[in-house]
Structure 1
């Protein structure tokens, strides 16, 4: 439907109001002149751009102005007024704001409803539709014996010179730790014999414990040999008569790798070779008689040493560097010496009674 042409139209109460083709003017018609008509009619300010699509043509405006003038052209001049042009930005005008708001509401509604798709979204992880059987409670079965598997190791042999007999007793697996990584590890073994003999040492092991015992008269010695059967500086035992003690090889000789133990004896003897990691740990106090070896894992401290005996006593600590002689004394002794932090090995070489205590 096309809009009504611009012009003056009576209101319900008979008041004349001007229609500019788009909206009513606020004020009524001006006062009448002598001939009962308005002396001045508003002349609309025609927006030619808007007229192309919305406003009346120029001929229509002229015809309407002539109808209301109804008289001489010399009467008061015709003046047309129109509603002031809306200079607000386009986004502030109602005809843009209202449709835009309605469009935004429609977009939000579509997003909330998933664009009209009634299919529910798939779960990112589909749980398998499996049915678990009911648990059945039974009495615990009697555990079966699990055979112990030990690593194979070279079989040590004893080569006595006089009526020597040797037997090998495989022991429990040794402890593992920092000491095994530093000195090497293997399965502990024991060799028994009578008279002179030779015991093969584990290959590739640079240091280990040797516990020896001898029953009988005469000399008893345990000497370490290299691959050429030459003596090293490790003379572990050299006594007359009976003996029981624990020593260690590999700390005083820095030449060729040790390969054998040469046993010199007139009676029965027993030798057990164990990894350094199996040495008992020194926790702050220890006492005993004869040769012993400990591992120490604590902090630097002071060590109180007491010794009762007529022979000499030697206490050595072997850490990351060269062996540190804590004590080397003949006869009885009582005193305090400094001790380095572990991990380290502590050896005691003596024939009498001794006591160690960390202070």
Structure 2
């Protein structure tokens, strides 16, 4: 009958079907054979061997626990061999003794990669405002002129007029019922200037009443087309004009060298009449912070310098 190798539980487990060579000797570190243990058993007679194992386990509970840890250690050695190390046989002589503290298999530390820093988003500059194109008209003498405000019927607009006659030149803004809203221009002879139309929210002008004795032009534009100024340098101009201001509040030095009415209105968080004089002027007035619109009425040259 065939016999098979039967190592005790305190020895390393042998692979299935393993047969010791003729000159093989067990490692002394494994300890002696348990009393009555048979290294070779009849392959056909299993119950006595099993019974022998059970009896031995009953007498050696401590050794059986250590043997179990030893088997786990061998599995770790095999795993290390599969990862590139030397793979040990289950019966290698450097296995720990049953009474020694089993070596604890440690898992190699895995390298950690620091997360890449998130790129700082580049701020997108605000898009430049889209300014609707101005609408231009021309005529001669007295007229009722239907107009279109480029930015919309419900918002303010600036209007630039020219007149080449020698007599009275006056312009009224009219609503849809042909009622007068505001007197925009009232002068004698040649004229050129820019004024603010529909400064009051209730005003929605759709026509102009023009009194003239010569040819004239009308240019209706968005308030965004007004003369820009941020207050960092002095502003020099002449005649009627509209300023689109974007600077800080402060005291402003103002001069005027004309001979007729000189007035400055400010429109921002509030409406404010800053100056209302006749003839030459020099003085310092309050100047509100932007965004704001300033309307200047003048018949000569003028300057504004923010202190």
Distance across 1 between alignment mates of 2:63 and 2:141: 119
How far is the alpha carbon of 1:111 from its aligned partner?
Answer: 7.7
1:187 counterpart residue number: 133
* Equivalent pair of 2:239/2:297 in contact (CA under 8 Å): yes
1:53, distance to aligned residue in structure 2 (A): 1.2
Question: Is the 8 Å Cα contact of residues 135 and 148 (structure 2) preserved in structure 1?
Answer: no
1:202 and 2:167 correspond = no
Alpha-carbon distance in 1 for matches of 2:6, 2:145: 125
Once residues 269 and 78 of structure 2 are traced to their aligned partners in structure 1, the CA distance between those partners, rounded to angstroms, is 80
Q: Which 4+ runs in 1 deviate beyond 6 A?
A: none
1:278 corresponds in structure 2 to 225
Structure 1 residues 51 and 227, CA, compared in 2 at 3 Å: closer, same or farther?
A: closer
Map of 2:196 onto structure 1: 248
Contact 1:227 1:256 in 2 (8 A): no
**Secondary structure class of the residue paired with 2:227:** coil
Query: Once the 2 structures are TM-superposed, how far is the Cα of residue 224 of structure 1 from its aligned partner?
Result: 0.2
**How far, CA to CA, are the matches of 2:284 and 2:63 in structure 1?**
99
Compared CA separation, residues 88 and 248, structure 1 to 2 (3 A):
same
- Quick check: 1:21–1:55 contact (8 Å CA) kept in 2? no
Partner of 2:228: helix, strand, or coil?
Answer: coil
Partner of 2:75: 103
Alignment of 1:62-101 (within 5 A): 88=62, 90-91=64-65, 93=66, 95-101=67-73
Task: Decide whether aligned partners of structure 1 residues 244 and 89 sit closer, same or farther in structure 2, where only a CA change above 3 A counts.
Answer: farther
CA shift digits 1:269-320 (9 cap, x unpaired): 1111111111121133222221011101112122110112332211111114
Q: Structure 1 CA distance, aligned partners of 2:6 and 2:179? A: 128
For residues 161-195 of structure 1, the C-alpha deviation after alignment (integer angstroms, 9 at most, x for no partner) is: xxxxxxxxxxxxxx963xx7xxxx64212211110
CA RMSD of superposed structures (Å): 3.2
Deviation (angstroms), 1:225: 0.1
Q: Which residue of 2 aligns with 1:219?
A: 168
Q: Which of residues 303, 310, 313 in structure 1 aligns to 2:252?
A: 303
Change (3 A) 1:176 1:249: farther
Contact 1:297 1:341 survives alignment (8 Å): yes
**Alpha-carbon distance in structure 2 between the residues aligned to 1:108 and 1:2:** 27
SS in structure 2 at match of 1:281: strand
Give the drift of 1:345: 0.9
In 1, the alpha carbon distance for the partners of 2:303 and 2:6 equals 123
Count, aligned residues: 218
Alignment-derived partner of residue 339 in structure 1: 287
In structure 2, distance between residues paired with 1:20 and 1:319: 105
2:243 aligned to 294, 301, 305, which one?
294
The structure with more radius of gyration: 1
Structure-1 residue corresponding to 2:274: 326
Confirm or deny that 1:266 pairs with 2:213. yes
CA spacing shift, 1:221–1:20, aligned 2, 3 Å: closer
Report deviation, 1:110.
5.8
Query: SS at the partner of 1:98?
Result: helix
5+ residue gaps, structure 1, are 4-18, 24-49, 57-84, 113-174
The structure whose RCO (Cα within 8 Å, separation 6+) is larger is 2
SS in 2 for 1:345: strand
Retained in 2: the 8 A contact 1:306–1:354? yes
Q: d(CA) in 2 for partners of 1:97 and 1:351?
A: 107
Question: What is the deviation of 1:222?
Answer: 1.2
Tell me how far 1:20 sits from its aligned partner.
Answer: 7.3
Structure 2 distance, partners of 1:227, 1:176, is 33
| Equivalent position of 1:21 in the other structure | 35
SS across alignment from 2:229: coil
| Alpha-carbon contact 1:304-1:334 (below 8 Å) kept | yes
1:236 Cα deviation from its structure 2 partner:
0.9
